[in-house]
Amino acid sequence: MKYIVGFLRIFVGIFFIISGFIKLNDPVGFSFKLKDYFAPDVLNLEFLVPYALLIALFVVIFEVLLGIMLILGYAKKFTLWSLLLMILFFTFLTFYSAYFNKVTDCGCFGDALKLTPWESFWKDIVLSGMILILFFGRKHIEPFFTRGTRGIIVFVSFIASMAFAYYVLQHLPWIDFRAYKIGANIQKGMEVPEGAPKPIFEYNWTFKVNGEEKVVTTNGDYPSQEGEFIGVETTEIQKGYEPPVHDFSIERDGENYTTQFLEAENLIVVIAYNLQNTEMEGYENIREITNRALENNYQVIGLSASSPEKTKQLVASQNLNFEFYFCDETTLKTIVRSNPGVLELQRGTITQKLHWNDALDLKLKQLPPRPKVEELLEEEVQDSTQVVTDSIQ
């Protein structure tokens, strides 16, 4: 028992430190996940939504500290009770998500490792068993170092966690695990490889046969069944391959500009996913860097999920020299954890990505003047005329 407890003490401690640090690297992303849980159709705790970021910071820092305290043997009784209560709560949460299919990703490891709800639940079951062994075998947990040294290590860890959280909130996650990290190509991220698994659906067809309802199940084909057709219910029984980048599009006034902008060079994109809670103090830097980019002949656009009326108001109030296009809010939140944020695209490849605090650090080069619209139209007309001439000849 002594050796089992000794092993589990280190294993569970490291597990909590890693899990907590990954979420501490991106507390804004974890707060988005908490808002999913607080939604009316999940836990119905909407009053907690405004405090989601504070709750996220408390949970992840506490998780890191519990892992350190367990390894050190510091405040043994408090640590074990906290671990037990925390894992029981997480187990309930993951079971609820899995059973009712409410939140499809628990966010246990942020974007570093995606787990399905049932995978998260069984992971928590195993962890619960390990923590119960530690709880009942706590007499075998011998502290490391002296009491004063343990206290200093825990205090320094707390200060370091707070400082790291402050840094990533004022800038961007130190490590970017998302599909929109620097160097990623958005177009390639949307591709589905040849031979990738396709979703499998089950179709339950309902017919009225001799006055009674009869259900026939197929995987898609209309059944050869006599009787009056009443209806059909479709259930996805196996998910297909989902590309890392999905739900990405750039639209304006009913037109789709996705391909046009993803094939453009030297494109600066300002992202403000929701203007209702955007940080207005950030637009001073955004205005300065986008004006500088336009002077250097870059193309500049904005992306937002807010209405055209609100984006026009923002452009006018902040004296911005670019227009906004529409993009899905969840997608924009995934691209950059800053509202507003700025990035550079080169033919769909993200080459720079910055928090509004760091917007002035965007590296720009002097480019030759971009052709005007009239010149492009004239060039297209000339090309079309040449094609016709060649055809006649």
The three-point CA angle 296-301-302 to 5° equals: 135
Indicate if the pLDDT at residue 307 is higher than 60: yes
Mean pLDDT of the chain: 89
- CA-based nearest residue to 282, from 177, 273, 180: 273
Structure confidence at residue 391 (pLDDT): 56
User: Are residues 143 and 150 in contact, defined by beta-carbon separation less than 8 angstroms?
Assistant: yes
Indicate if the pLDDT at residue 220 is higher than 80: no
Structure confidence at residue 356 (pLDDT): 96
Integer Cα distance of 70 and 74 in angstroms: 7
How does pLDDT run across 308-323, given as a tens digit for each residue?
999 999 999 999 999 9
Structure confidence at residue 393 (pLDDT): 54
Structure confidence at residue 372 (pLDDT): 64
| Per-residue three-class SS string for 6-35 | HHHHHHHHHHHHHHHHHHHCCHHHHHHHHH
Indicate if the pLDDT at residue 173 is higher than 80: yes
- CA-based nearest residue to 128, from 35, 15, 28, 235: 15
Please tell me whether residue 46 adopts helix, strand or coil conformation: helix
User: Are residues 95 and 125 in contact, defined by beta-carbon separation less than 8 angstroms?
Assistant: no
Integer Cα distance of 277 and 305 in angstroms: 12
Helix 76-100, helix 117-136: angle, nearest 10: 160
Structure confidence at residue 227 (pLDDT): 86
Structure confidence at residue 242 (pLDDT): 82
Regarding predicted confidence, which is higher, 236 or 302? 302
Structure confidence at residue 235 (pLDDT): 81
Structure confidence at residue 132 (pLDDT): 95
Counting residues of the chain whose pLDDT is more than 90, the rounded percentage is: 65
Structure confidence at residue 158 (pLDDT): 97
pLDDT band at residue 201, thresholds of 50, 70 and 90? confident
The ranges assigned to domains in the chain are 2-170, 200-238, 251-373
How does pLDDT run across 346-359, given as a tens digit for each residue?
999 999 999 999 99
pLDDT band at residue 381, thresholds of 50, 70 and 90? low
Give the homologous superfamily in CATH for domain 251-373.
Glutaredoxin (3.40.30.10)
In terms of average pLDDT, the best of 113-127, 170-184, 232-246, 369-383 is 170-184
User: Are residues 157 and 68 in contact, defined by beta-carbon separation less than 8 angstroms?
Assistant: yes
Counting residues of the chain whose pLDDT is more than 70, the rounded percentage is: 94
| Global pTM exceeds 0.85 | no
